[in-house]
Structure 1
Amino acid sequence: MKRILAIAIIAIMGFTMVGTTYADTDKKDIESSEIMKFSLEEAIDYALEHNRDMKIQDINIEKADLGYDEARYGIGKTNDAIDKYGSGVVDAITEKLKDLGVTKRSAQLGVDIAKWNKDIKTNQIKYDVEKAYYDLQQIKNQYDIAKEGLELARTIYNQSKVMFDVGTISEQQLLASEVSLAQAESGLEEARKYYELQRMSFNNALGLDLTTDIELTSQLTYEPHDYIKVEEGVKEALEKNAGLKVVKENYELSKLSLEATKVKYTPNTFRYKEKELAIQEAAKSLDTVKIGVEMGVRSAYLSLETAEKQIKTYQKASDKAKKSYDISQLRYKVGEGTLNDVTKARIDYMNAKKELNNKIHAYNLALLDYRYSKGLGKNVIG
């Protein structure tokens, strides 16, 4: 009995210390006047405005434009030389590449890649911020659930004190309720720690100082998506994906390059085989990227459908756990249930809410992945 009392006293002392820390931190939050508030759209706009990568992409576009101008100038000089001195002044392959438009198309591809990369970088920033926003909302919800769990544990403890005073429970049961309260307080502090870590990650995604206090004004909710025709999504992705556009053009250019090589080399030469090999490698790359794009769409869709079904299941589980807790809490209050029963019901209820929150988070991320899988892409080319 003495050992049990000693353990309970230590737990109560821990609760008192943790409780003080929690109260002080809450006071700091309330007194802070430097809180930056963001809706999802505002967070994305802020990140785009303060990200140096956007300026880098603008410079890359300017550089590619200059390269294109230089290529056109080179083509003009080649034409002038041929007109003045005849075709013999220029290598036959070089002239053929010019005639087939390979030189100009290669330069244009460089410009296109630079422009696509800017759009892709924009996609990447938007995606990263939106994911960071959802991640922070999820952790904030977990923190709020831990707060609710603490309040429920405190309610049970207060009931236990009244019941102890009137002699319906023992001192050992009262101490057990204090330990349960201390455990709920500890869980809240752990949830706060994870929230602070996730907040710093969010700040980094936006380009904010890590210590900046922020508040999210949009909510993490489940909203049913529009009806999806996955085959149309695949088709849209194959038409829009920038990486696929690049490998397609490289494949076409490699075939034209072989045509140019034929004016000087025969099929039994090393140079000819080199170009032939380049075509096969380009074709393989094209097939690989096509499959990758299609897989991206289909896998995102499957994740989305799975997450949506799980939300419905876990919503029912959460509702059921809430009813079980209410019943066990009432039974304990009137002396028909045990402290173990109500404590277990409380923990089960909080866990069910956490799992539902996790499934809603997974659903929103899957929907985010599906949206981006159909577009230009979010991985910079080259």
Structure 2
Amino acid sequence: MMQRVRCLMVFSLSATINLSATQVLVAQEISKGAQFSTKSTSNQTTQETAQTSESSLNPDPNPLQLPTKPDEIRLQATQAITLQEAIALAERNNRDLQVAALTLKRSQAALRQSQASLYPTLAGDTELGYERNSRDRLDDLKYLAEDASPTGTLSGRVEISYDLFTFGRRPARIQAAQAQVRLDQFEVDRVQRQIRQDVTNVYYDLQQADEQARIAQSSVTNIQRILSDAQALEQGGLGTKLDISRAQVQLGNAEQELIEAQTQQEVTRRQLVQLLSLSETADVSAADPVQVAGDWALSLEESIVLAYRNRVELQQQLAQRTIAQQNRRAALADRLPEISLFGNYQFLNEFNEPFGTLGGYATGARLRWNFFDGGAARAAADQQSANQAIAETRFAQTRNQVRFQVEQGFKSLRANARSIQTATAALTQARESLDTVRFQFQQGVGTQLDVITAQSDLVRAEVNRLRAILNYNRALASLQRAVSNSPANPISQPSYP
């Protein structure tokens, strides 16, 4: 009987082991299949999520849409976006950029209009009418003793004409229109680069507001710990009510600073939404951590030369100069003759006559010469000469501004780089000092005033390092803008961890 029980136990144990092993193998196969399925659908899920997120941020396609119900402007859940996503949204939705693009389309249409003068024009007109004036009726009654019926006529003309010689007026207007197109293209580029810098600066402002809110919250938490320690020491006979009162005052001040920091955080979020021209219900936050954005590998002189070569503001002044030159050329051409060729065909049919439809034609050349215009052409040319001088003066002014912007950004970048190192060392020392005085206070050796002072020093050190990093990033974005380099594509890779 005992041997039978032992055999049953051994058999049961072996069956359990085999079953467990089988379950493990099946579980491994299921896990492998799930992993494969997850890998195959992860990219699709990520793309769908990104598309859904972007669709909820995009504004209404109707620019004249005006919400009338509170539900239409109630904010949805806050979405965290990166700096690159913010720049992409601004380039797609920003109203100023859209206006610049529409202005470019308008100038392109104007260019096509001016280029149409290179081709001949074909026009025609037709007239159908009935005429019976009083003189004809009187003659009929006087000489024919009868009142004839009205005369019906059908007439028309088709004419082709071409301006053969305009003495520079036509090419000047075409070249002025081409320069205007270039000018508006430069304006689109300028607005796009400026929007990138504006979005970058506001994004850094939001990062600073987020971090200041975090620092304020951390300060409240630390002072609450100081208050708890003071209360515990007072209960143990090692502290005083003055320590508790001082900690309560510090806690109230810290909570007030937290409220102000959170309010600034909310305002900066709305400022970013407005700059990105997002949906009425969109609310965003910064997803990127605060860190050094990169380094600048060029010298000051190389940066200035690069800015002179890339800045579209300088090219815009040259385009303005070209427009003035061509407009002056066209104005002076108004005093010169204009020769055109023409050819037409006419037909006439009087319904009361038996001759039917009669046709005729005419060809020839026309000469048009405005001998005297009271000095209008010369005055128009003088205006364009002044516009040319203005463009040249503004070119020199813009060149000086570009150099100053590069120098300002370069020096600010170097100064903030040194500030980061100093602030980082000060922050490390402030943390160590706070830990030391807090331990001494808990042991009854130090004073509460030492702890509060160390806590204030820590908050100041954190804020200083935060400002140093973000000011460095702002200076880098400003320098990149000064040389017309996109903030989304820095010249050099970050050299900081």
Report if aligned partners of 1:200, 1:210 keep a CA contact under 8 Å in 2.
no
Residues 8-157 of structure 1: pairs in structure 2 closer than 5 A: 34-76=77-119, 81=162, 83=164, 87=165, 90=166, 95-96=167-168, 98=170, 101-157=171-227
Report if aligned partners of 2:480, 2:486 keep a CA contact under 8 Å in 1.
no
Count of residues in correspondence between the two structures: 333
Normalising to structure 1: TM-score of the pair?
A: 0.77
Residues 70 and 273 (structure 1 numbering): CA distance in 2 closer, same or farther, change over 3 Å? closer
Gaps of 5+ in 1: 1-31
Single out whichever of 238-247 and 210-219 deviates more from structure 2.
Answer: 210-219
- Whether 2:431 is the aligned partner of 1:322: answer yes
Shift of 1:118: 2.5
Q: CA RMSD in A?
A: 3.1
Please name the residue that 2:456 is paired with.
Answer: 347
Task: Give the distance between the partners of 2:387 and 2:104, measured in 1 at CA.
Answer: 27
Residues 150 and 225 (structure 1 numbering): CA distance in 2 closer, same or farther, change over 3 Å? same
Gaps of 5+ in 2: 1-74, 122-160, 337-377, 488-497
Residues 300-315 of structure 1: pairs in structure 2 closer than 5 A: 300-315=409-424
Please name the residue that 1:176 is paired with.
Answer: 246
Q: Secondary structure at the match of 1:285?
A: helix
Report if aligned partners of 2:213, 2:261 keep a CA contact under 8 Å in 1.
yes
Larger radius of gyration: 2
Greater strand content: 2
- Whether 2:299 is the aligned partner of 1:229: answer yes
Task: Give the distance between the partners of 2:95 and 2:439, measured in 1 at CA.
Answer: 58
Please name the residue that 2:132 is paired with.
Answer: none
Sequence identity percentage? 21
Residues 169 and 275 (structure 1 numbering): CA distance in 2 closer, same or farther, change over 3 Å? closer
Residues 211-360 of structure 1: pairs in structure 2 closer than 5 A: 212-252=282-322, 254=324, 277-360=386-469
Report if aligned partners of 1:120, 1:376 keep a CA contact under 8 Å in 2.
no
Greater helix content: 1
Residues 276 and 115 (structure 1 numbering): CA distance in 2 closer, same or farther, change over 3 Å? closer
Residues 230 and 97 (structure 1 numbering): CA distance in 2 closer, same or farther, change over 3 Å? farther
Shift of 1:130: 1.8
Task: Give the distance between the partners of 1:253 and 1:301, measured in 2 at CA.
Answer: 35
Normalising to structure 2: TM-score of the pair?
A: 0.60
Task: Give the distance between the partners of 2:473 and 2:314, measured in 1 at CA.
Answer: 27
- For residue 144 of structure 1, what is the amino acid of its counterpart? R
Task: Give the distance between the partners of 2:484 and 2:105, measured in 1 at CA.
Answer: 24
Report if aligned partners of 1:200, 1:211 keep a CA contact under 8 Å in 2.
no
Report if aligned partners of 1:204, 1:210 keep a CA contact under 8 Å in 2.
no
- For residue 346 of structure 1, what is the amino acid of its counterpart? Q
Report if aligned partners of 2:183, 2:316 keep a CA contact under 8 Å in 1.
yes
Q: Secondary structure at the match of 1:228?
A: coil
Task: Give the distance between the partners of 1:120 and 1:276, measured in 2 at CA.
Answer: 26
Report if aligned partners of 1:164, 1:171 keep a CA contact under 8 Å in 2.
yes
Report if aligned partners of 1:35, 1:214 keep a CA contact under 8 Å in 2.
yes
Report if aligned partners of 2:437, 2:450 keep a CA contact under 8 Å in 1.
yes
